[in-house]
Structures are given as structure tokens and as C-alpha cells.
């Protein structure tokens, strides 16, 4: 006897009270790349065959889509270290806004990045089950970092992180709790609360935050594995607008990596972020939105490495007046 349920926010009729596994088979969805929530509780894969869906139940089926945020130049002598894992590249890239998956894959290759963010989203049930975004990510080289982009509450962010982990990719999460739709600035109070919850559940949490030192300190105390302050609004391409605040963060946040997230528009912005002492930079729009994404990815690869080398080398002091480079002795007069 058919029953009616709510599936990904829409009313839908299914043939009968069936198990989660049977539902996925009925929908012809790839079971290896989705996660399922039953009445707001994540269903572990091991229980898909035993959890039965009844009339009136609410089901969410999610997968991974583009999001923000071998090959390349290799390391800079130290590399980026997060939660005990080491990465040669200090550049983290995204998967959103590319014209095609093929263009994205080439940009990833030329970026030299070893970590890539993906967004957790509902499966579009009316679309065919062709090649997935994940088919175009070199999983042998790149660590996939699920993010909670688009979440405006602690509950939504925590649920999304749990679904991302259940989908089988990672217990790592780039945590976003958005507080304002127009600026996409973070809800810092919610961010701290969500960090505490997810850290207790064993997640490696990398929160997207503002440039407030006090918020950063509280995120560290909550167990964040990295602090990811914005340089400017997401997708704005304005470059680093808060240089003084970034310097303060670099001086006062030393327990975990500091990764600039959002606002980078071109290679010089990435250089500046690294020269300020950032441990890494996450970007998506600056590469995906360029006229030639692959070429821009190559530029960002060089920029991040050059900026880090310059920071480690130590710049000369700024002076108001000139200082001659050539010796004065022996000058012809």
C-alpha cells in the first residue's frame, strides 16, 4: 500500500513502508555517495536495511556538490600541518562556480593544492544519476573537506557535518554558521557553540570566522583545529581588507594554523596573506571566476609559495628616507 513521506523537503509517494536501502534503490541513487537522515537523525549505513520508512516520515538524502571554498611546486620546506596531518601545499581550493567539471579538474591539478572543499547538499531527485563531482577530484592526491556552507543555525551546521561524515568522506569539516545573508559574515556565537558540539563528536573542525581575536581565542578553546578568518566578504575579490587585524591574529593565535578564507581576488592578494604570516589560504571564486581558471590556479600556486618564502625570509624595515645601496667610498668627484 503506497505511503506519503516528505523527501528532501517535498511531499512524495513511495510504494510501501520500505527500508532506507530499498528507498535508495527505488530512487536509483548511488548508495556509495549519499547520506540519509530519517526524522532529523542520521542513519548509519550499517542500519540502512533495518530502518523502515513509515507514512509521514521526513527523509533527507544528501551528496556533495561544488563549494567554497603530484603536480605543482611541492613544499616550501615546512608545509602546512593540521591536526597531525601534513600537506606540502599551503593552498586550499574549492569546487564551486566552474563552468565544467573538466575545467575544475585542470585548475586543481595546476594549483598544486592537496585539500579541496565540497558542499553537502540535497540530492536533486529529478536529475539523472550521471557522473558525480567526486569523479573529477583526484582523491589519491587531494583530501576532501566537506563544508557546511549555507547553514544559518547551529542545528543545521551540526546536522550537515554529521551527514557529510556519514556519506563516507571525512570527519574533517570546514564549519560555517552564517549570520547575515547579504554579507555572509559568520554568526560567531553560533560558530563557537557548533565547534564545541562537533569537537566532542570527534570532528576535526576548521571554522570560518571573522577577524576578531576574542572569537578566535574562544574557537581555539572550543577545540578548533585551525582558525579561518575572512580577508574580505566571500566572493568579493576585494583582497585583504583587514591587514592590522590579521597581524594581531598571527601574533596571538599560535596553537593552531591561521588560514585566510575569503576575499582573495588575484595572486597579489594571496602573496599579501602569506606575507602577513598566514599558514595557508583557501580560495574558490578567485580561480573559478577567472577568464582562464587553470592559469589563475597556477598563479595562485606560485603566489602562496612565494608569499610564505618571503615571510620566512623576513622583509627589510620600512624607512621614510632613502638609504644608498652602493658604497660612498671611491665615488668620482
- How high is the pLDDT of residue 102? 93
- How high is the pLDDT of residue 69? 44
Report the range out of 19-23, 101-105, 136-140, 189-193 with the highest average pLDDT.
189-193
Fold match flag (3-61 vs 67-313): no
- How high is the pLDDT of residue 131? 65
Catalytic residue among 97, 174, 200, 319: 174
Asked if residue 128 has pLDDT above 60, the reply is no
Give SS3 for 223: coil
The Cα 79–Cα 89 span in angstroms is 6
**Strand 58-66 and strand 41-42: pairing?**
unpaired
Tens digit of pLDDT for each residue in 40-98? 888 888 888 888 988 888 888 876 555 554 333 333 446 899 998 999 999 999 998 89
Domain 67-313, architecture per CATH: Alpha-Beta Barrel (3.20)
Average pLDDT, the chain: 87
**How many Å separate Cα 220 from the centre of its chain?**
18
Residue spans per domain, the chain = 3-61, 67-313
In order of 69, 209, 213, 247, 261, the CA distances from 190 in angstroms are 20, 11, 16, 25, 18
Q: Known catalytic residue: 97?
A: no
Instruction: Name the CATH superfamily for 3-61.
Output: Beta-grasp domain (3.10.20.30)
Residue 17: partners with Cβ closer than 8 Å, 6 or more residues away: 3, 52, 53, 54, 55
Q: Above pLDDT 70, what percent of the chain? A: 89
- How high is the pLDDT of residue 47? 87
Tens digit of pLDDT for each residue in 266-280? 999 999 999 999 999
Asked if residue 12 has pLDDT above 90, the reply is no
How does residue 186 score in pLDDT terms, banded at 50, 70 and 90? Answer: very high
Comparing 8-17, 181-190, 253-262, which segment has the lowest mean pLDDT? 8-17
Q: Which residue has the cell 532529523?
A: 40
- How high is the pLDDT of residue 110? 95
Tens digit of pLDDT for each residue in 104-125? 999 999 999 999 998 876 665 5
Amino acid at each position: 500500500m503506497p505511503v506519503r513521506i516528505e523527501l528532501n523537503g517535498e511531499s512524495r509517494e513511495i510504494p510501501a513502508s520500505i527500508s532506507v536501502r530499498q528507498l535508495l534503490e527505488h530512487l536509483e541513487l548511488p548508495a556509495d555517495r549519499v547520506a540519509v537522515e530519517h526524522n532529523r537523525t542520521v542513519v548509519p549505513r550499517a542500519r540502512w536495511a533495518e530502518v523502515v520508512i513509515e507514512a509521514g516520515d521526513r527523509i533527507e538524502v544528501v551528496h556533495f556538490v561544488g563549494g567554497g571554498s603530484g603536480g605543482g611546486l611541492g613544499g616550501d620546506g615546512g608545509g602546512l600541518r593540521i591536526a597531525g596531518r601534513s600537506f606540502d601545499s599551503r593552498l586550499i581550493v574549492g569546487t564551486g562556480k566552474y563552468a565544467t567539471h573538466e575545467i575544475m579538474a585542470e585548475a586543481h591539478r595546476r594549483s598544486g593544492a592537496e585539500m579541496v572543499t565540497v558542499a553537502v547538499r540535497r540530492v536533486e531527485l529529478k536529475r539523472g544519476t550521471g557522473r558525480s563531482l567526486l569523479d573529477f577530484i583526484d582523491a589519491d592526491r587531494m583530501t576532501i573537506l566537506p563544508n557546511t556552507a549555507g547553514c544559518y543555525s547551529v542545528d543545521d551546521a551540526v546536522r550537515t557535518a554529521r551527514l557529510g561524515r556519514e556519506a563516507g568522506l571525512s570527519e574533517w569539516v570546514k564549519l560555517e554558521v552564517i549570520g547575515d545573508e547579504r554579507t555572509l559574515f559568520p554568526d560567531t556565537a553560533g560558530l563557537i557553540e557548533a565547534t564545541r558540539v562537533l569537537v566532542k563528536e570527534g570532528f576535526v573542525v576548521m571554522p570560518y570566522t571573522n577577524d576578531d581575536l576574542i572569537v578566535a581565542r574562544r574557537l581555539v578553546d572550543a577545540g578548533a583545529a585551525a582558525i579561518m578568518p575572512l580577508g574580505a566578504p566571500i566572493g568579493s575579490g576585494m583582497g585583504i581588507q583587514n591587514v592590522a587585524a590579521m597581524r594581531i591574529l598571527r601574533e596571538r593565535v599560535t596553537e593552531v594554523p591561521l588560514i585566510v578564507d575569503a576575499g582573495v581576488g588575484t595572486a597579489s592578494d594571496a602573496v599579501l596573506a602569506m606575507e602577513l604570516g598566514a599558514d595557508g589560504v583557501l580560495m574558490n571564486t578567485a580561480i573559478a571566476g577567472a577568464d582562464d581558471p587553470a592559469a589563475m590556479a597556477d598563479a595562485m600556486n606560485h603566489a602562496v609559495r612565494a608569499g610564505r618564502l618571503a615571510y620566512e625570509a623576513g622583509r627589510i624595515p620600512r624607512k621614510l628616507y632613502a638609504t644608498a645601496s652602493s658604497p660612498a667610498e671611491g665615488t668620482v668627484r
